A and B are shown apart, each in its own frame.
Chain A
Amino acid sequence: MKFSYNWLREMVQGLETAPTELERWITIKTAECEGVEAHGDDHVIEVDNKSLTHRPDLWGHHGMAREVAAILSHKLLDPVKPVKFPSQPSAVRVIVDDHFLCPRYSALVFSNVKVQPSPDWLQNRLEAVGLNPINNVVDVTNFVMAEIAQPMHAFDSAKLHGDEIRVRPARAGESFAALNGESYTLDAADLVIADADGAIGLAGVIGGAGSAISDATTRIVLESANFNASCIRKTSSRQKLRTDASMRFEKAQDPVNTVRGLERAYELLQQVSPGIRLVGGLADAKRLRAAAAPIRLPLDWLDRKLGRAVPAAEVKRILEALEFHVEEIEPRTFSVTVPSWRATKDVGIKDDLVEEVGRMVGYASITPTAPLTPAHVPYHNAEREFHHRVSEMAAAQGFTEVFNYSFVSEEMVRVFALDLAAHVEVLNPIAADQNLLRSSLLPGIWKNVTDNARHFDSFRLFEIGNQIHPDGEVPHFAAAIYAKDDGAAGLFELKRLAECLLPGVKVRPATDIRHYEHPQRAANLLHGDTPVGRLFELHPKMVEAGRAAVLDLDLAVVQKLEPEAARYRPLRRFPESAFDLSVVAGPRVLIGDVQSALEALAGEALLSIEFLREFALPDGNRSVSYRLTVGAPDRTLAAEEVGAVRSRIIEGIQAAGYQLRV
């Protein structure tokens, strides 16, 4: 929204503050300014529209003038002079079907109109605030809109059918040719202004082409109406048409303002179209909401909210400068009546008044203060703390953290053999191929691997992120090691990382190989019987040069498996005995199975088992060596007892089909 400095000066008596200084005041007290630019002998202050979202009154200069007058303690002048319209029937009959959607529709009819270019002062004003001068009649409607935030519209009376204007819902599929040359197909939820023949205006948004003002126009119907903000906003977004009018109406304009708009326009039309004649009286179809009850404002409460005391007289002065009505109903309690232009949506509760007083006394006048509240240990977020530990451990082991988008393509879903139907789909994706929410971190990790392989010979990376499923989100940890080697080292490094993150995790070769996995290098990770993740090498056809090992862990499950508090066991008082065993295993026998067999056979006496080495034998078998340590808690095992354990293991392991290498 652009504000003309000269225009504001007309309404703020004695305003001498320089435009740049005024811009600073408005920013600090009212709304964010984006700059000041010279425009002829005027200056234009641009205010961020987003900061006016809640202030219907600031969509006109008079509203901003009120702020300026209050900020700088000047007198505010009203540009609208009351007019006593003839008390005879209007020359146009207005019927409003639904006053919820159109609380008020006011109109005047003028004859003897002479359409011509506006005088320079009017054209300059409009150009300064970014509006295009069209002709004197249209320019007056735009001027009033820019001045008091009341959008208006002029119809060429000769082009209307019948002498009745009806505000009604559009018929579904009804076609409407607008002033801008476009044609719109309307929805039953849109509101139209119609004559006997059909829609002549899309309410609150734009007028119709058929009844537009032309050089030949001599008689006009001047509309000044108020529409339901939500209705206008919906129509505007449905029809993808935002106009100066719709932007104002969707902020909830003041219904009281419609007649003020006509009063101001009447005065201006007499200036720009000399000889113009008002025909009949005022048409004013309305059903206004009862004014809201005054707000009870306890001053001690106000002081507590602000964190500083504001004298009662100062509170009163500020609110009255903003044209609130203030009455002291009991000691240190005000009853505050909200002016109609602030009451539509903006100010309704006492908290809203905290802002009015606070911004005007200045937040800089409040001393920062530590609260006096009991100290307590905050809620412990174990999940987040766990994620921090995981990421720090990964980083310490050489992994660099990446963030990937939550969006994936259907193509990725296919590549990673995910269930397309089990994906949450975006209605309005950023791009057609980013329409699904990731149900796995793997597509992102794969992209990271292929992207970075262009710049590095080897690297490690990881991500912690949410898998998104229709029934919830599951945090996962995914990591990759890329190197130009045979790939084994990366897999074992990831296995080691998994063991660091979850002591006791076990690896079981996968039988359900997915097509993006190396068929001989994929395993499930388990803790006890609980699946916790997957360890695999990406299929070589997925990685151009080099190998990529990948670890994928379900952090929600892993966190729950975190060990309980450690328990002390007394140190052993009796010596233990150790012996080595070398087992001959076939080429694809799992070392993990050999170890489990040894552990089971050793039984209670086993204190620890340590993998020593593995090497290939000439016949293709492998020799796998372990050191087993045995002992008893209450005595030293005799040599015969140790021998018995050893024999039991040897017999058992042979019975299980292994050979022993002596």
Chain B
Amino acid sequence: MTALDQTISELRDAALKALESAATLEAVEAVRVEALGRKGKLAEVSKSFGKLSPEERAQTGKLLNAVKEELETRLEARKAALDSIALEARLESEWIDLTAPAPGARPGSLHPVTQVQQEIEDLFVSLGFAVMDGPEVETEHYNFDALNIPPDHPARDMQDTFWLKDGRLLRTHTSPVQIRALEKLGPPLRMIAPGRVFRNEEVDASHEHTFYQLEGMMVDRDVSVAHLIYFMKTLLSAIFQRDVTVRLRPGFFPFVEPGFELDIQCLICGGAGCPVCKRSGWVELLPCGLVNPAVLRAGGADPEEWNGFAFGLGLTRLAMMRYGIDNIRLFSSGDLRFLKQF
């Protein structure tokens, strides 16, 4: 071993020692510059190669390269170790309490009737029904006459009407949209019409002068009671998210013939009888029927060619059933203590 070899070996040991105590990236860089830099110690050593014999030069050159390589590897490893320590320290310092509240407004909510309504709208749209609208201020024609409820018909007693000074009225049901939809789109037609309706009634926990209904109608060739029952079962099974048993019994509504009251088997007692169903096992849910030919004619459809079914669903009542709400007045109270629950 030449003296030069000895020097290289010493430089290597010194550099490795310095590297071991280097605690920062700057210190590591300093070690690198001192040992491997262009003006570093190993570069100095290579200047004295001229004094060596060719054999010695080859031998020492080999050693020098090996030391350089080793140092570089060790330098990189040390850097990586320091990087990783620094990252860990940073991450450690970046602790966040994610249980703290998020900034900004809390989510709001849609009115419970809107939620029930949109659910039913989506269901019917998926069954090929259009969603139609009609005005809240209606004419006597659309609200009564066209629906086969002529003046002085006792059926007008069934719905206490808000009359307006200009001779019009606030619609007492969503049924006028049956006529409007027939006029606008003509048969064949499948449509629903949700909306606000008005009855001049004393308000108490179960009566409101303003509430929400959803009208439904299908007009086509040869629409039957069997089709009506099919759609009502589909609708109600989707709403209550279980298979429901329905029954039809006679009900009188001038705009349908035959007319039905549709009951569902009580979901609380399964039909055995309980206070909710007044021990009958059945809960009255919606009026429906085959569209009266007079209504089809009023809407411009020939009843010899077309027929259909229609139904009316009480959205407010459905929301009360779904959420167990015992006071109908809350719906129009604007009270956020109530509305924020949904």
Contact = CB atoms under 8 A, between A and B. Distances in A.
| A and B physically associate | yes
Interface of A: 27-32, 50-55, 229-230, 233-234, 250-251, 304-308, 349, 351-352, 354-355, 358-359, 363-364, 366-371, 373, 375-381, 383-384, 388, 391-392, 394-406, 424-430, 437, 444, 447-448, 451-452, 455-456, 459-462, 466, 468, 470, 472-473, 493
A473 B137 contact: yes
Contacts of A379: 130, 132, 185, 191
B251 A381 contact: no
Interface in B302-342: 307, 331-337, 339-340
A307 B109 contact: no
Given A250-B154, A430-B200, A425 B293 contact: no
B104 interface: yes
A54 B250 CA distance: 11
Given A444-B334, A452-B336, A50 B170 contact: no
Q: Which of A354, A401, A460 has the most CB atoms of chain B within a 10 A radius of its CB?
A: A401
Nearest to B249: A28
B227 A391 contact: no
B334 A29 contact: no
A29 B250 contact: yes
Interface in B103-133: 104-111, 113-114, 118, 121, 125, 128-133
B137 A452 contact: no
Given A51-B251, A384-B131, A398 B106 contact: yes
Contacts, number: 226
Contact of A426 (B118, B163, B220): B163
A305 B225 contact: yes
Nearest to A398: B105
A406 B129 contact: no
Given A370-B227, A371-B227, A400 B109 contact: yes
Given A368-B230, A378-B129, A405-B332, A31 B250 contact: yes
Q: Which of A369, A396, A447 has the most CB atoms of chain B within a 10 A radius of its CB?
A: A369
12 contacts: A230-B152, A234-B152, A250-B154, A306-B226, A349-B257, A359-B258, A363-B248, A378-B130, A381-B132, A425-B166, A426-B164, A428-B162
Contact of A369 (B151, B226, B257, B334): B226
Given A308-B226, A396-B107, A406-B198, A428 B163 contact: yes
The main secondary structure of chain B at its interface with chain A is mixed
B107 A395 contact: yes
B290 A305 contact: yes
Contacts of A388: 118
A466 B136 contact: yes
B249 A29 contact: yes
A470 B137 CA distance: 9
B259 interface: yes
A391 B110 contact: yes
Contact of A32 (B113, B223, B261): B261
A425 B165 contact: yes
A401 B110 contact: yes
Contacts of A455: 336-337
Contacts of A234: 152
B110 A351 contact: no
B37 interface: no
A427 B233 CA distance: 41
B209 interface: yes
Contact of A28 (B107, B247, B336): B247
B247 A426 contact: no
Contacts of B270: none
B249 A27 contact: yes
Given A367-B226, A371-B227, A427-B163, A403 B107 contact: no
Interface of B: 104-111, 113-114, 118, 121, 125, 128-133, 135-137, 151-152, 154-155, 158, 162-166, 168, 170, 185, 188, 190-191, 196, 198, 200, 203, 209-210, 218, 220, 222-227, 229-230, 233, 247-252, 254, 257-261, 290, 292-293, 307, 331-337, 339-340
A375 B188 CA distance: 11
Contacts of B229: 307, 363, 366, 368-369
Given A32-B249, A371-B227, A424-B164, 13 more contacts: A230-B151, A369-B226, A370-B227, A370-B230, A391-B114, A394-B108, A406-B170, A427-B162, A451-B333, A455-B336, A461-B334, A468-B137, A472-B135
A444 B118 CA distance: 23
B252 A53 contact: yes
A32 B261 CA distance: 9
Nearest to B111: A401
B224 A306 contact: yes
Contacts of B168: 424
A495 to B, nearest CB: 14
Given A51-B250, A305-B290, A395-B110, A366 B336 contact: no
A304 B136 contact: no
A392 B128 contact: no
Q: Lowest 5 CB-CB distances: which A-B pairs, in order? A: A307-B226, A398-B105, A307-B224, A355-B258, A379-B130
Contacts of A456: 336
B133 A383 contact: yes
B258 A381 contact: no
Contacts of B226: 306-308, 366-369
Nearest to B248: A363
Nearest to B131: A381
B107 A398 contact: yes
A421 to B, nearest CB: 12
Given A370-B230, A397-B108, A355 B335 contact: no
A392 B168 CA distance: 33
